[in-house]
Amino acid sequence: MKISKRFANVGDSSTLKITSLAKGMKSKNIDVAILAAGEPDFDTPDKIKEEAIKAIKEGFTGYTAVRGINELLELICEKFKRENGLEYKPENIIVSTGAKQSIYNVLQALCDEDSEVILLAPYWVSYIEMVKMTGALPVIVDTSLDNFRINVERIKEKINKKTRMIIINSPNNPTGVVYTEKELRELAELIVEHNIYCISDEIYEKIIYSPNKHYSIASFNDKIKDLTFTVNGLSKTYAMTGWRIGYLGGEKKLVEKALMVQTHSTSCTSSISQKAAVAALKLDEKIVNRMIDEFTKRREFLMKKVEKIEGLNYVQPEGAFYLFVDFRNFIGKKFKDSEEICTRLLEDYKVAVIPGGAFGAEGFIRISYAASMSEIEKGIDRIEKFLKENV
């Protein structure tokens, strides 16, 4: 079988693979605690669903402009200005089939086989694979040495003539770290100095815990703004993962190149989902805040449970809905790596969690608290039992 060189080394998504296996087990009435999900366990708010139903009944079911419907583009511009300090016009925006496609569009438009893309590890599993799909080389900067914070000097060491861009993600998946204004300003200076592009993935922007604050790197000045693609979406904030609505904002000429990728691949995203997105961006923030309040309670509950298990450590999440737990005390003794632990947990103890190796951070495991309190308690109790019986 012959396949393209670019796809020869592209791997599977561990998060989707393990979640799919766990859901398959659950469908067979196997009692699995699923703490692997990268999506809220809440339902999409009714007002959003009602707008989608209305669109269907009114026959709004055809193609739209590839970029998206104007009403939605205008609302996204308003959102960027109000919440991120970014002035954009509809010509600076693309609505895509999820934030993942927004990132993919940019990478395909701007990267070549002789280019390099800097990733900060731990990174979201799809970043490295999407970079590989372009033929570019992923260059990894390990942030575990700095408690998962940005270290500009380490990044600077990796920049050379082939460096095309850097991808950042704050709040971060899988660590939950939120980059400070100081960290981002220092990084912005480095990016501008070396004239490289930046993809700023801000999909978890609203899921943030006090006193932490979100900053958009593109908002600092016009120079960094012109080099940055700010990516966001509705999946996490509005519990709309299946609706597939993401978007990006950036410099007009660069955005046009990303638009060409979408034009000749997926075209527009769902017209119905776009109408639903209009309702989402008009939604009362109280509805979103109730979800954040629940995540806050779960976060506290999960941290207390993990703290009681001897040998486990973690960095307190400042945003998103994951606890990135350090299992390195158990690696190399009984277990080869985090993947072996996660496989054993799923097969023998019926707990689904994601190995840190998938995120470029071997020895860690990502535990999602986008699950009910009872599911979290059941899962952590089983992890504790697993360690007691196997270490």
Structural domain that includes position 215: 47-281
Residues 6+ apart with CB under 8 A from 171: 177, 178, 204, 205, 207, 208, 214, 317, 318, 319, 320
Q: Are residues 207 and 300 in the same domain?
A: no
Q: Strands, E, within 238-349: which ranges?
A: 246-249, 313-314, 322-326
C-beta separation of 379 from 33 below 8 A? yes
Q: Are residues 202 and 270 in the same domain?
A: yes
- Looking at residue 12, its pLDDT comes to 73
Q: Are residues 236 and 341 in the same domain?
A: no
Between β-strands 354-355 and 228-233, what pairing exists: parallel, antiparallel or unpaired? Answer: unpaired
- Looking at residue 38, its pLDDT comes to 86
Q: Are residues 186 and 228 in the same domain?
A: yes
CA–CA separation, 166 and 200 (whole Å): 9
Nearest to 226 by CA among 279, 178, 275, 188: 188
Answer with the one of 243, 261, 281 that is the final residue of a domain: 281
At 256, is the secondary structure helix, strand, or coil? helix
Q: Strands, E, within 202-333: which ranges?
A: 228-233, 246-249, 313-314, 322-326
Q: Are residues 149 and 297 in the same domain?
A: no
- Looking at residue 3, its pLDDT comes to 81
Q: Are residues 149 and 193 in the same domain?
A: yes
C-beta separation of 341 from 355 below 8 A? yes
Q: Residue 14: give its domain's CATH number.
A: 3.90.1150.10
Answer with the one of 241, 258, 281 that is the final residue of a domain: 281
Q: Are residues 301 and 252 in the same domain?
A: no
CA–CA separation, 207 and 205 (whole Å): 6
- Looking at residue 165, its pLDDT comes to 99
CA–CA separation, 264 and 305 (whole Å): 49
- The reported pTM is 0.96
Q: What is the count of structural domains for the chain?
A: 2
The number of C-alpha atoms within 13 Å of 281 and in the hemisphere containing its C-beta is 24
- Looking at residue 2, its pLDDT comes to 82
Q: Which residues of the chain have pLDDT under 70?
A: none
Q: How far apart are the first and last CA of the chain?
A: 43
Q: Are residues 247 and 304 in the same domain?
A: no
Proportion of the chain in helix, strand, coil states, percent, rounded to 5: 50, 15, 35
Cα R_g (the chain), whole angstroms = 21
Q: Residue 77: give its domain's CATH number.
A: 3.40.640.10
Answer with the one of 237, 255, 281 that is the final residue of a domain: 281
What is the rounded average pLDDT for all residues in the chain?
95
At 136, is the secondary structure helix, strand, or coil? coil
